[in-house]
Chain A
């Protein structure tokens, strides 16, 4: 069997996009409440990335622009990508729930959920602490999660 390479830079790009867009949306939101609609846009981005690598916008941005231009260097590691996909799914779920609160006008709750995603992304981006991955391991250990053998992407 071949070793599965997994490029962590894709995750870093994803986390950077999340942090920048949410923080900007939050700040602009003080002047224009419609800026909260960055939340559903990011929810779609996250869930699409989990669904298929062809729909993974941060990956496309990284592979086609950031890596070739040398802005972001590859960080290929030998690692199971499944926990990171689970963490991305969690982020997507958080933002989807936040979207419901945006739609219902409960912006405080929506921004708390969005900022939770920012904080989690920052922990992973800066310190490689992946809370979703740790939760994933706990859930697999408890036999709660459906298991798959999907390759790295």
Chain B
């Protein structure tokens, strides 16, 4: 009859772990509106911070081509690529939990949007416009 405890113990452990991890993931969205690091040299315009990694297949096969296509439509769009293995501290400050992660920063370096997983060029363009990028309405797919 002691075996009846097995599912209870397991569910309690997993629930606790899930709640902790979910709380951590949720906290990334709290960064929206805050400045994590001083703004770079994007000329006061919104920019994209792109977190990638060697093992992230979708980063190389989809996210990077989408970012390249987006940048090709407007040379004012600044994209900073960060390999999390090269700069784990920065990834930690932006609370990156999954790859790819793209973060749209406004001209003042404030976090305007966070995308966990693949983000299309159109999604990123809309976020750039919302962050203050002028005349950036051309769709890129």
Contacts and interface: CB of A to CB of B under 8 A. Distances in A.
Interface of A: 1-4, 6, 26, 29-30, 78-83, 107-108, 111-116, 118-120, 123, 129, 131, 133-134, 137-138, 140-143, 145, 147-152
A1 to B, nearest CB: 5
Nearest to B2: A108
B16 to A, nearest CB: 11
B57 A151 contact: yes
A61 B133 CA distance: 49
Interface of B: 2-3, 5-7, 9-11, 13-15, 17-18, 21-22, 25, 53-62, 65, 84-85, 88, 91-92, 96-100, 117-118
Contacts of A2: 61
Given A26-B6, A115-B9, A115-B11, A134 B56 contact: no
A143 B85 contact: yes
Contacts of A118: 7, 10
Interface of B is mostly: helix
Given A78-B58, A79-B117, A108-B6, A1 B65 contact: yes
Contacts of A138: 97
A4 B12 CA distance: 36
A113 B11 CA distance: 10
